[in-house]
Structure 1
Amino acid sequence: MFAALKRSLPLSLVFICSFAACGDHKPTPSQTVHVQPSVNAREQKRLASMDKSPMDIAYFPEDYPVLKMSGKAKEDPVARIIYSRPSKDDRTIFGNVVKYGTYWRLGANEGTEIEFFRDVEVTGRKVKKGRYIIYSVPYEKKWTIKLNDDLYTWGLSIHSAKDVYSFDIPVTTSNNIFEVLTMKFEDYEGGGRLMMAWDSVRTYLPFKY
């Protein structure tokens, strides 16, 4: 009898334990694990070096989207500029990298684009609201600023036959060096102006509205 019990006990325990475990077990919901593909070092380097001149945007009034979303915007925007920001990288820019008397896209990559959301006066000349490519012909003492209606351009391919406005503005220099091309709208004499600065050079394009 005891021998039979001894032989049957392990099987009984296994049955009881299995039954108890099955009775309270609730299956866990299946989970899908998304594994991101690895990016090797070469690919990371390629991605990191895709754009050395990142794109930026400036509004007038300054930081208009922030003012709008916080309920502090008193009026619609007047102007906006979208441009890429090349770096100085220990180079002399004007007269060297940017040659005097030649077309310059006022940035890098795509053509720099300015938009006026209403009619304005630029250096006393009426300019209709709309979007324009803005570029420059720089000289040592002045820049000639051009507004062109050939949108969505790239590089130095500027179709000057599509220029619609032209303005001459003076150049100022400073010991305060701008490492990257910087554009910024600011209040000026009851209107505004666009500051363009790179290396030791600054220029200002004034407008009224």
Structure 2
Amino acid sequence: MKQIVLLVSLIMGITVAKAQTQPTPPNLDSSPLDMSYYPVDYPVLKIQDKVSEPLVARVVYSRPQKRGRKLFGDLISYGQIWRLGANEATEIEFFRDVKIDNKIAKKGRYTLYALVNEDKWTVILNKETDTWGAFRYDSSKDVLRSTVAVEKRSDIAEAFSISFQKSGKGADLLFSWDDVLVRLPITW
């Protein structure tokens, strides 16, 4: 009986030790999922009871990496629709009615796309949600479009980023990757 217990203990010990030395799977997502809020850091402020203004918007997106590639005009073709990230199409949810380019976007959830050009982007809110990439993009479901200027940055953003920055009577939705920064003004 002691030999059986010893043998089972030995096998279990080897199994546990081997399981702890397995390498990390090589197929981890290279474009991790992220979220941005306005007000910035809203969930943290909420649990700390420091919320000074109501939740206005949340963006859910994946963050592709530059990894030495030429991005705009190559990986992301000029004049073609882009999902503003990787994997699933980027989504924005407004928790109140807002204005973009003097057009009203009603409270609700939308997919964000862009027509990217060297000097300007046309940012698009589309009512088709829960979709992958831009493969089934349907312009007849566009809610609004806004054309905004491209700003060149002196530093390089390795990972695609979307964030909010307070401005005037609302916030700018910032898109940043490589040496490009684009601001979409949102008011309420």
- TM-score range normalised by the length of the shorter chain: 0.7 to 0.9
In the other structure, the counterpart of 2:95 is 117
Determine if the alignment matches structure 1 residue 38 to structure 2 residue 16: no
Matched, 1:207 2:186: yes
**Which has the larger helix fraction?**
1
Q: CA RMSD in A?
A: 1.9
Counterpart-to-counterpart distance in 1, 2:73 and 2:153? 16
The match for 1:197 is 176
2:118 to 136, 140, 144: 140
Partner of 1:38, secondary structure, is: helix
Query: Quick one: which of 54, 61, 76 aligns to 1:76?
Result: 54
TM, length-normalised to structure 2: 0.86
Consecutive unaligned residues in structure 1, runs of 5 or more:
1-32
Hey, what's the Cα distance between the residues in 2 that align with 1:105 and 1:65? 25
User: Equivalent residue of 2:86, what SS?
Assistant: coil
Q: Is it true that 1:187 corresponds to 2:166 in the alignment? A: yes
Out of 56, 60, 66, which is 1:88 matched to? 66
Give the letter aligned to residue 179 of structure 2: S
- 1:124-144 residue CA offsets vs partner (Å, 9 max, x unmatched): 211111000001000111100
Distance in 2 between residues matched to 1:81 and 1:97, nearest whole Å: 23
Gaps of 5+ in 2: 1-11
TM-score by length of 1: 0.78
Q: Structure 1, residues 81-130: CA drift from partner, whole Å, max 9, x if none?
A: 00000011111210111000001000000010001100011122111110
Give the aligned residue type for 1:73: V
Amino acid at match of 1:57: M
Q: Give the residue type in structure 1 aligned to 2:89.
A: G
Give the greater-gyration-radius structure (CA).
Answer: 1
- How far the C-alpha of 1:39 sits from its partner, in A, is 7.5
The offset of 1:159, in angstroms, is: 2.1
% identity of equivalent residues = 42
Q: Deviations over 1:64-86 (max 9, x none)?
A: 00111000102320011000000
